[in-house]
Chain A
């Protein structure tokens, strides 16, 4: 066979295979988004945001779950960002090559893929059982434990990518190591740091299992984090399993809300990152 023709055929087959695989992956995504939209958008009314969850058969919304989710995710991300960025910085700039550094990195990688239900049980033992009560704080800590390794990992990776010349240039002016990191390296790496935060948030915003053991859920509006707290994932879990049609409809709305939140935060993050990259 003609060599050139053979190459064209092989090339065509390969491109075709890649396209089909992409199509399969995208189809799944489109189907998920479509079912979320078609089943959730109908119930997306103002009441969803203003009223707390209803008794079966009566009017209501998801306000308590939305507020609970926002509060626990926010506190969880705050803890994860502080701990994760500092830990990642330590790994990249100070102790990463020591034995202790290697151990920390390995354990962080283990934690990165730890089943979330185990994290929930751990926090249950740590913060729920000893204090005889489920609480929003416990939920936030469970979420923080899930997000921290992601932030740590991306922080270390992105700081390692910063050229040594930049560190040397700062030190050559007489700045201390810590000052160079805070005022130059973090600034140069902020795009990556934002990405790490977004990845962490995306991970925890839909987590259900760890919250079942920690914040439990709450059918009433509650803004005290020392009390059991509702959250979107646990409410969806509860409503989707129920026999009531209006609860099931609200579960779809909740799922749609989570999807929209993750999507929009990702988009905002990307735009911010691009702005800073200019």
Chain B
């Protein structure tokens, strides 16, 4: 891990960041605040995500790790009253660059908090493009009420017209990468709802990667699965990081330690510590992180 640069250190309430080199980042949250109406649940969070690595977010319930994940593809936009202030850079392009977000950021800047550069309104905040590049898999499997084939093809059809042969190839490739192909190849045109929980979750992974996103966000994807399905899913994720960048929220510390390259520990809406997984687990710098990973609280 000698290519890791130390970016920022100890702010006023113990915050330790060991960020990957800037030129290897694919998506990055900078000084991100998040609000559910009047309730603020993220406070100036930084999250640098390195390409082709697995980044895990851990922390006790309610610490904001799911909120942070949901901010990265702006899925919160579905709900009026929820909004983010700060920056979300995808390959250096600000995804929080729509008129409203920029105005909120300017207001915050004038209120005292500083950010590196003046925010500008741009087309970077186009949600459809953003979501094609940042896929998401949820806690509970969410197969659509249609066939396995149509589930995988759903996202692709939103963006491209493909011939039957091309689509067949995409579906097969996606299901193979999600390690589901062998189990479903003979029943592609039966309902996706007929699969087991673990299979449904891998179907959702296949659906997510079929559109070839750069980043795949996973929100506690294994919490509704049995240990065998979990192991299979983890194996799949390890394979997938060759082609994709993965950010995973997990309650399971062993899982984070097993599969991730970087880990962020969050507490009360703040990023307390971020760094290479090995370091964070074996030699945590913040007292809170130490307490959490040794099981003293949380």
A, B: real partners = yes
Interface residues of A (CB under 8 A from B): 163-177, 179, 183-184, 187-188, 278
**Distance A188 CA – B192 CA, assembled complex (angstroms):** 12
Min CB–CB distance B277 → chain A (angstroms): 26
Min CB–CB distance A227 → chain B (angstroms): 44
**Distance A188 CA – B159 CA, assembled complex (angstroms):** 23
The proximity string for B residues 69-98 relative to A, scoring 1 for CB distances below 8 Å and 0 otherwise, is 000010100100000000000000000000
Which of B131, B142, B154 has most A Cβ within 10 Å? B142
- Let me know if B78 and A173 touch, CB within 8 A: no
- Let me know if A172 and B73 touch, CB within 8 A: yes
Please indicate the chain A residues that have their CB under 8 angstroms from the CB of B211 in the complex: 173-174
**Distance A174 CA – B131 CA, assembled complex (angstroms):** 5
Knowing A166-B144, A188-B145, say if A174 contacts B138 (CB, 8 Å).
no
The DSSP consensus for interface residues of chain A is helix
Q: How many A-B residue pairs have CB under 8 A?
A: 68
- Let me know if B142 and A173 touch, CB within 8 A: no
Q: Does B128 contact A (CB under 8 A)?
A: yes
Min CB–CB distance A154 → chain B (angstroms): 18
Q: List 24 A-B contacts (CB under 8 A).
A: A163-B142, A165-B138, A165-B139, A165-B142, A166-B144, A168-B75, A168-B78, A168-B136, A169-B142, A169-B204, A170-B144, A171-B78, A172-B73, A172-B131, A172-B135, A172-B136, A172-B138, A173-B132, A183-B144, A184-B144, A184-B145, A187-B146, A188-B144, A278-B194
Min CB–CB distance A272 → chain B (angstroms): 15
Please indicate the chain B residues that have their CB under 8 angstroms from the CB of A168 in the complex: 75, 78, 136, 138, 142
Q: Which of B44-80 contact A (CB under 8 A)?
A: 73, 75, 78
Q: Which residue of B lies closest to A164 (CB)?
A: B78
Specify which of A163, A167, A174, A187 is in contact with B78 (CB 8 Å cutoff): A167
Q: Does B207 contact A (CB under 8 A)?
A: yes
Please indicate the chain A residues that have their CB under 8 angstroms from the CB of B125 in the complex: none
Please indicate the chain B residues that have their CB under 8 angstroms from the CB of A173 in the complex: 131-132, 135, 154-155, 158, 207-208, 211
**Distance A183 CA – B153 CA, assembled complex (angstroms):** 13
Knowing A171-B78, A173-B207, A174-B132, say if A187 contacts B158 (CB, 8 Å).
no
Q: Does B140 contact A (CB under 8 A)?
A: yes
Min CB–CB distance B221 → chain A (angstroms): 12
- Let me know if A187 and B144 touch, CB within 8 A: yes
Q: A171-B131, A173-B154 are in contact. List 5 more A-B contacts (CB 8 A).
A: A168-B138, A173-B211, A174-B127, A174-B159, A175-B158
